[in-house]
Amino acid sequence: TLPPIQGAVSFESIVFEYEKGRPALRGISLDVAPGQSIALVGHTGSGKSTIINLLCRFYDPTEGRVLIDGHDIRGVTLQSLRSQVGIVLQDTFIFSGSIRDNIRFGRLDATDEDVERAAKAVHAHDFIMKLPNGYDTEVQERGSVLSMGQRQLLSFARALLADPRVLILDEATASIDTETELRIQEALKTLLQGRTSFIIAHRLSTIRHADNIVVLDHGSIMESGNHDEL
> Which CB, 24 or 128, lies closer to ligand ATP?
24
**Is 159 in a helix, a strand, or coil?**
helix
Q: Rounded to the nearest whole angstrom, what is the least distance from the CB of residue 152 to ligand ATP in the complex? A: 18
Q: Is 49 in the site for Mg ion (CB under 5 A)?
A: yes
> Which CB, 49 or 224, lies closer to ligand ATP?
49
> Which CB, 48 or 125, lies closer to Mg ion?
48
Chain mean position to CA 109: 22
Q: Is 164 in the site for ligand ATP (CB under 6 A)?
A: no
Q: Are 16 and 54 in contact (CB under 8 A)?
A: yes
Q: Is 24 in the site for ligand ATP (CB under 6 A)?
A: yes
Q: Is 90 in the site for Mg ion (CB under 5 A)?
A: no
Q: Kindly indicate which of the ranges 21-29, 47-55, 157-165, 215-223 contains the residues binding Mg ion, using the contact rule CB under 5 A.
A: 47-55
Closest CA to 49 of 12, 77, 87: 87
Distance between CA 111 and CA 104 in Å, rounded?
Answer: 9
Distance between CA 10 and CA 30 in Å, rounded?
Answer: 6
Mark residues 25-64: x for contact with ligand ATP by CB under 6 A, - for none. -----------------x-xxxxxxx--------------
Q: Rounded to the nearest whole angstrom, what is the least distance from the CB of residue 184 to ligand ATP in the complex? A: 20
Residues with Cβ within 8 Å of 154's Cβ and at least 6 positions away in sequence, in order, are 92, 94, 99, 102, 103, 124, 146
The runs of H, that is alpha helices, within 28-177 are: 48-55, 78-84, 99-104, 112-121, 125-130, 148-162
**Which partner, ligand ATP, Mg ion, none, binds residue 42 by CB below 5 to 8 Å per kind?**
ligand ATP
> Contact residues for ligand ATP (CB under 6 A)?
18-19, 24, 42, 44-50
